[in-house]
Structure 1
């Protein structure tokens, strides 16, 4: 039986290759998958495009482009856009990058920049270049605002409002936003911004937040129902805004990664049916 609009983000079952993830989706009745570029590269871009087409699986997103605040973003993001076009992905997710000189998992480089406003201006300037390139190739960029704890090293865009302010400088078919429950559930303005987003919503990603937080806060995500987030109101708001695309479950969690991927996907499907789907 089909799981409808549920999509498996490949990182949830991190140990699965592209081929294993697509096969797992087929066996569990999941009709869409969110792919990661490094896995696609390992399988081969053309081979991956054939695989998903032959399996009848939608590519709900390709993750990720971005990191626009450094000095070497252009070629990699153009390549990511080309890859998304080849895969027929519904969007290319952009994690925009942190302060210049601050990289994920590394100490700040000597002479790193503390200029947060300047870093955000770099993101806007980069989008001015990338949005037309994406539009020419039929690819929609999806800006993902990350929780403020990741501002220094991953994303100087922390709220849905900030993401929309950037996206609205460009045609909706070129630049949209990601609504991600983990990153945005805490925001007191989230419901107003979801309503504002309307057809700018390019992706809806759901996962829970653990409490207490683990030592590595990057791994604080959980399968829906295992944390503190109330999915009903957020999902209903996304539906009321007009979003009719796939709903990705994206989980970064060491215990989930260590578990049997088939058991994880079965749990994901059951939690989606119970906590998310009734509100779409």
Structure 2
């Protein structure tokens, strides 16, 4: 049996239908040492229970997913979204404290899509920047890094108006790097001709908060959200991206985050095993 690389983190989305207890159990049993959690399974059991479960597992905590969705117009819904992000910051801090040594307090942010009827991308990104600015004091007080995640442009209308790493770094630039960084997710950024330059920039600016990997393969399903694959099963060049992240100074854990109905429907232990194998073959040689 091949050993699991110690830098692999199992993002809980990859085994979406596992509850928190099961997700922790199968991750530990596979020899994976770290996990990234999602808010919904944590909130299903309550934060106090979740932190105890995480501590008992002995796993490192790598990220909390997710905060964001900042593009709502002014009014009660936007205020409620900001308040929910403050709760997410508190959750992130508590989980990072509960995880094993080496845990990181990183809250991944998805900016939100264009509001209904809107077409002003630049203006909408400014709204995202304004919202993050409101959360920076909370993040600094909690010791949490808000990691802006650019998403592939096909998600602009419904999920994320931040499409490139450069745009994410431009939004982050006005804020303390302890509070605002970026997420590099191979699925979302591999296509960008400037991605290697921007990864280097993220390193120089001290904003490389987390590195997530999965693969891209066509044809895409009808629901393009569910189009991710195991590392090595598609067309992404993990060599150049991973070397760039390492050269930029990133030494943290690396999450595999997959949204795919067939993978979600598979047996959880087999998914974790297959994830570890793909990570070993496609990513580890470049670390």
Q: Which of residues 92, 112, 121 in structure 2 aligns to 1:97?
A: 112
Aligned twin of 1:276: 283
2:122 and 2:223 map into 1 onto residues whose CA distance is 27
1:61 and 1:97 map into 2 onto residues whose CA distance is 19
Note the aligned Cα RMSD (angstroms): 1.1
Aligned twin of 1:207: 214
Once the 2 structures are TM-superposed, how far is the Cα of residue 2 of structure 1 from its aligned partner?
Answer: 4.8
1:73 and 1:231 map into 2 onto residues whose CA distance is 35
Q: Which of residues 99, 114, 119 in structure 2 aligns to 1:114?
A: 119
Q: Please say if residues 90 and 202 of structure 1, whose CA atoms lie closer than 8 Å, have aligned partners that are also in contact.
A: no
Q: Please say if residues 109 and 149 of structure 2, whose CA atoms lie closer than 8 Å, have aligned partners that are also in contact.
A: yes
2:257 and 2:14 map into 1 onto residues whose CA distance is 5
Aligned twin of 1:21: 23
Unpaired segments of 5 or more residues in structure 1?
A: 102-111
1:101-135, Cα deviation, whole Å (9 max, x unpaired): 3xxxxxxxxxx322222211101111111112111
Q: Please say if residues 215 and 229 of structure 2, whose CA atoms lie closer than 8 Å, have aligned partners that are also in contact.
A: yes
Q: Which of residues 228, 236, 239 in structure 2 aligns to 1:232?
A: 239
Q: Which of residues 65, 77, 88 in structure 1 aligns to 2:85?
A: 77
**Are residues 1:160 and 2:165 paired?**
yes
Aligned twin of 2:99: none
Aligned twin of 1:109: none
1:80 and 1:244 map into 2 onto residues whose CA distance is 25
Once the 2 structures are TM-superposed, how far is the Cα of residue 15 of structure 1 from its aligned partner?
Answer: 1.3
Structural mapping, 1:43-192, within 5 Å: 43-70=45-72, 71=78, 72-88=80-96, 89-101=104-116, 112-192=117-197
1:215-274, Cα deviation, whole Å (9 max, x unpaired): 111111001111111111110110000001110000000110111111111011011111
Structural mapping, 1:238-277, within 5 Å: 238-277=245-284
Aligned twin of 1:105: none
1:185 and 1:228 map into 2 onto residues whose CA distance is 9
Once the 2 structures are TM-superposed, how far is the Cα of residue 191 of structure 1 from its aligned partner?
Answer: 0.4
Once the 2 structures are TM-superposed, how far is the Cα of residue 86 of structure 1 from its aligned partner?
Answer: 1.0
Once the 2 structures are TM-superposed, how far is the Cα of residue 3 of structure 1 from its aligned partner?
Answer: 2.8
2:92 and 2:125 map into 1 onto residues whose CA distance is 25
2:60 and 2:210 map into 1 onto residues whose CA distance is 13
Q: Please say if residues 211 and 254 of structure 2, whose CA atoms lie closer than 8 Å, have aligned partners that are also in contact.
A: yes
Once the 2 structures are TM-superposed, how far is the Cα of residue 99 of structure 1 from its aligned partner?
Answer: 1.1
